A = this chain, B = another copy of it.
Amino acid sequence: METKLRFAQQIVLKAGRWLREHMNQQVEITEKADFKDLVTNFDQSIQDQLSQDILQAYPLDAILGEESQEHISISKGCVWVLDPIDGTTNFIAQQTDFCILLAYFEQGVGQFALLYNVMADQLIWGGGEFPVFLNDWPLLGYQKGELKRSLLGLNAGLFASNAFGLARLANHCLGTRSYGSAGISFAYVLEGRLVAHASYLYPWDYAVAAILGPKLGYELLSLENGKPRFEGREYVLFLPSLLKDEITGYLDEWNYQ
C-alpha cells in the first residue's frame, strides 16, 4: 500500500504544480466574463490528468468523481475518490484557497487520503494504516479544549437557517469561520484551528475527511443518516470524537450512535 500512497502523492503534487503554472498564465489573459469556462476547463483537465495517471498505473481500479459517467460504489473493489478543484468559487474569485482532494478505498475501507492546498503547497496525507502528515511534519491529533474557546467552520447560509441546530451549536462556540473550501476547512480542523466543520457536501468533497480524521481523533458524521452514505449530497459534520456527545447534544434530534 505504501507504493500506492507514494504514487498518489506524486500525481497530486504534479497536478498542483501544473495548476499553479498554467493558472497564472491563463488568468492573466482571460477576460473576467470567460473565467467560469476557464475554471471548468481546469477542473476537467486536472480530472483527466489524474484519472489517466491512475488508470495507466492501476487499470483495474475505478474512479468516483463529479465527472464519473457511471454509478460507482466505494464498497466494492479498488476505488479512488477525486475532487480535482475543491473550492471553485475561491478559484474563480480569489485564485487561492482551493484544494485537490484524493481518497483511496478498497472494499469500502479507506486506505489513505490526500488533501492538497495548492497555492499554499501544503499536502496533508496518510490515514488507514499510515500516520497523517502535513508535508514532512506529523500532525499531533486532537488536543482537548473547551468548545466555548473554539471556532466552528460553518457558512453564513447554514448559520442563518439554523439547519439541524447548527446555529445553536455555533452559539456555544467562540464564533464561526467560513473559508469557502471543504478541503481547507477540514485541514484547519486537522491542524486544530477549527474544532469542527459542517457543510453540505458530495462524497468527493468529504471522503478525505472520513479517512484522515480517525487517525487524529476526528470522525465524519452525516447529519441526515448518522454515517455518510457516499451517495449524493449530504449534510456532514467533521468533529473530534471526544466532543461528539457534547457537540451533537446541541443539534436537533440527533439520535445516531
Report how far A61 CA is from B195 CA in the complex, Å.
Answer: 43
Q: A145 contacts which chain B residues (CB < 8 A)? A: 32
Tell yes or no: A177 within 8 A of B by CB: yes
Q: Give bound CA distance, A194 to B176, whole Å.
A: 18
- Contacting A177 at CB < 8 Å: which of B33, B35, B179? B179
CB of B180 within 8 A of CB of A146, answer no
CB neighbours of A174 from chain B (8 A)? 89, 92-93
Give residues of chain A (133-162) contacting chain B, Cβ–Cβ below 8 Å: 145-146, 149-151, 154-157, 159-160
A24 to B: closest C-beta gap in Å: 14
Task: Say yes or no: A151-B89 contact (C-beta < 8 A), given A160-B160, A178-B177.
Answer: yes
Please report the C-alpha to C-alpha distance between residue A74 and residue B195 in the assembled complex, in whole angstroms: 40
Neighbour of A159 across the interface among B146, B151, B160, B179, CB < 8 A:
B160
A174 to chain B, nearest CB (A): 5
A33 to B144, CA, bound (A): 12
CB distance from A171 to the nearest CB of B (A): 10
A175 touches B180 (CB 8 A): yes
Q: Is the CB of A176 within 8 A of B193?
A: no
The docked-state distance in angstroms from the alpha carbon of A32 to that of B174 is 14
Chain B proximity mask over A16-40: 1 for CB below 8 Å, otherwise 0: 0000000000000000110110000
Q: Does A94 contact B (CB under 8 A)?
A: yes
- A156's partner among B33, B94, B170, B193 (CB-CB below 8 A) is B170
A102 within 8 A of B: no
Is A239 engaged at the interface, CB distance under 8 Å to the other chain?
no
Q: Is A62 an interface residue (CB 8 A)?
A: no
Q: How far is the CB of A28 from chain B (nearest CB, A)?
A: 11
List, in ascending order, chain B residues with CB within 8 A of A149's CB.
Answer: 32, 35-36, 92-93
Judge if A8 is at the interface, Cβ distance under 8 Å.
no
Which single residue of chain B is at the shortest CB-CB distance from A36?
A: B149
Q: Does A122 contact B (CB under 8 A)?
A: no
**Neighbouring B residues of A175 by C-beta, 8 Å:** 89, 93, 155, 180
Which residue numbers of A lie inside 8 Å of B, CB to CB? 32-33, 35-36, 89-90, 92-94, 96, 145-146, 149-151, 154-157, 159-160, 167, 170, 174-180, 188, 193-195
Residue contacts A-B, CB under 8 angstroms, 22 given:
A32-B146, A32-B149, A36-B149, A89-B174, A92-B174, A93-B149, A93-B150, A93-B174, A93-B193, A94-B151, A94-B188, A154-B156, A155-B156, A155-B175, A155-B176, A156-B159, A156-B160, A156-B176, A159-B160, A160-B160, A160-B167, A177-B180
